[in-house]
Amino acid sequence: MRVPESRDCVLVIQGGGVYALSLLGQARAVLDAGYRPRGFAGTSAGAIVAALLWANVSQRDIERELLQAASAGPDGLASLLGTVELGENADPVGFEALSRLASAGTGLLGALRTPGHILFRAGRAFASVIRLWCPVSGVIGRRGLYHGRPLTDLLDRLLRLGPLPDEIRHKNGLLTFGDFHAAAKSDSQFFRPPLFITATNLSSRRLELITSMDRAYDDVPVASAVRASASVPGVFRPVDLPMCGPGGTFVDGGVITNFPAWVFSRGFRERLNHSEDCFEIAGLPWIRVGLRVGSAERDMRDVRIPESFWGSLFRMLTGDARNQLDSLLARDSSRSITIRQPEPACDGPAHWLDFPALGPDLVKGMVRAGYSFAKRWLDLAGRPSIMSKASEAEIRGVLDDLVTLCAAALGVPRDSVRASLHLVDDDTLVSACEANFRPTDTDRGLDMGDLVTGLTGQVFSSRLPHVCNLEAVAEHRRSHPAADGSEDEPLFGMPEDMQAKVADQPDPPTWLAATPVRDPTELRGASPDESRFLYEYPTVHSAPLPGHVDGPLFGVLGVHCRAPYGAGPGRLGLPAKAEEQARDVRVKLVLGAMNDASALVAILLSRHFPADEVKLT
Amino acid sequence: MNGAPDPNDLRPHSSLGMTPPAFSSSAVPSGGTHRPMFPADAVRERLRGARQFNDRLAAEPGSWGPEFTGNTRNEPPTLRTPT
């Protein structure tokens, strides 16, 4: 038996200021461990990392640009924040006040490092900031300290380094989601999976989920959306994105959700199903991989002491409560793993906004520490894959039993029935297990090569059970030999040599029923109006049956019969037309047994997935 | 007739579970063409694009990547036992 080590995933990256570097290192380790993202979501610093991965920017390009920015001046990556602009009518003393303002700001950051005295020190520092800030009226009017244009420019420069047609790569102005969409439309080599960026619309006081999936965001510059997601209130000025709707003034997405794991919930599947650009990945199973910084543990505080009381309250109101809710929502997701790196293990500055400390050495060190931490986490967890090999013997038994049941239901000798299990491996369906095949069968271990070929591919891509009269298909093949230049798709998309393996063998199968093996963690009711891949064949050959449940698939279970059609002992006794076969009571019994077996197989494949929470020693 | 089902008729009396879905290919006459509802090549092409995307993402890990062997300040994490 062959269970593929499939590690398709959706990647969720939390916000965290300077810890973007740790998260970048973590992401690299996840990719090096063989995880293949089918979607990205991020907030703030996480949005930066998610967007760069989504744009397919090479690690070397990211490293080079980051190191250049960190080496540009004495203040490290603080150069990306930009300057405090005073405007044309600025008070001339404002320039001198700026350095004092910066000192006060640093004092504020320093105060935040000491939780025990946080309120007192923050209050004092805030007072000094206000005292210095007030004369600089232009700054107050701008609703934040830094304009952050260097960060936007750096992001846009990096986004252009991913695969893009030249005319888009060199276009004027910031690259928009529409540009990336146009690139994907022009050539599949520019395909990108969905990206979600959170931002807080301060005008409407709502969360905005800016996504590459929704054409409504086509005019939104990707770098601006990321910059909006990272607009830490007060530190960065808000970003105006009028194309996102009325108002459209955005601050950090982390104001509402700092770890948006909930993005990849059931609603995402439904959006994929209705997406004309990527509906084919809606049926793929995945692991939810979360990248985080910060310990989940909380120290106990004696809040009878006023300082502790106000300190705890301040922390809850400024993010702790939101973080806990994010964690609870993430934990509710099935098949998820969360890598959570404690701050002391990040090798970074003490405070998450201490950008001036990020010189080249610290930048490197933080990325490395993130990589190292995530690699160890994944090694320790055994690099979890979607399906487990641990139940192979039990699955073989399920298929053997299924053969016996189906032979009895059809009223044919057991020797004339066999079963096969194909499982998804990246973008192919591979033969994982077979029961009652004969050594002389030429279609043993037949891989499908992709997700749409053969009745197996048809079932996988449509997510519907099918029955198929293989005798009629073989007859059709004989009477319609493949002709050069024919516009017709080969039968079930199968190349001639693959068809020959099935049909040109001694005692070939005459009938086939195939049913989806559904991911048991994401079952839901079926909706008839979703996009499905479906070959359009004469119903004498094959017919789909309704699927009352839907969801992503692990693979396809098949039952093949070799008995000849017609009435009499040892014969199949089914009508010739597949559409009529689908109404036959015996076929219904067979499909019932197959549904039962496929559910059991799916549970056996998925039951060894590890717990999603990590407790750090 | 009182509408009761004939006990000798083994055909299902409810269409539940037995009616092909609305997008069934029943309207296509036998011997017709074999074009899928969605061009299979277009689907394959996009899946190929998705594979290329991930191949590129997995390639070229960069100078800070796999050769980095460890950070002694990181305590090894332990997995919580599933409950």
Indicate yes or no: CB of B40 within 8 angstroms of CB of A489: yes
Please tell me which residue of chain A has the smallest CA distance to B21: A546
Residue type (1 letter), A150:
P
Give the CA-trace dihedral at A534, A535, A536, A537, to 10 degrees.
Answer: -130
Between CA A363 and CA A18 the distance in angstroms is 9
Chain A residues with CB-CB distance to B55 below 8 A: none
DSSP structure string for A278-326: TGGGTT---EEEEEEES-S------TTSHHHHHHHHHHIIIIIHHHHHH
Structural contact between residues A383 and A34, judged by C-beta atoms closer than 8 angstroms: yes
Nearest Cα to A593, choosing from A391, A389, A410? A410
Cα torsion A280, A284, A286, A288: sign: positive
Structural contact between residues A410 and A66, judged by C-beta atoms closer than 8 angstroms: no
Nearest Cα to A616, choosing from A323, A259, A365, A346? A346
Report the pLDDT value the prediction gives residue B73, as an integer from 0 to 100. Answer: 41
Indicate yes or no: CB of A36 within 8 angstroms of CB of B34: no
Question: Model pTM?
Answer: 0.84
CB interface of A with B, residues 212-271, below 8 Å = none
Between CA A425 and CA A221 the distance in angstroms is 35
> Which residue among B53, B77, B79 places its CB closest to the CB of A192?
B53
Report the pLDDT value the prediction gives residue A389, as an integer from 0 to 100. Answer: 86
Q: What's the average model confidence in pLDDT over A287-301?
A: 85
Interface test with A, best of B51, B54, B80 (most A CBs within 10 A): B54
Between CA A453 and CA A473 the distance in angstroms is 15
Report the pLDDT value the prediction gives residue A586, as an integer from 0 to 100. Answer: 93
Q: Is the ipTM of this complex over 0.90?
A: no
The first and second tokens of residue B50, run together, are: 């998705």
Between CA A134 and CA A117 the distance in angstroms is 25
A68 lies within 8 A of chain B by CB:
no
Q: What percent of chain A has pLDDT over 70?
A: 85
The first and second tokens of residue A463, run together, are: 């997510």
Interface test with B, best of A191, A274, A380, A529 (most B CBs within 10 A): A191
The first and second tokens of residue A571, run together, are: 């014969």
pLDDT in tens, A201-244: 988 888 999 999 999 999 999 999 999 999 888 788 889 888 88
Cα torsion A498, A503, A509, A513: sign: positive
Say which residue, A492 or A503, is predicted with more confidence.
A503
Between CA A84 and CA A100 the distance in angstroms is 13
Highest average pLDDT, of A78-87, A455-464, B38-47, comes from: A455-464
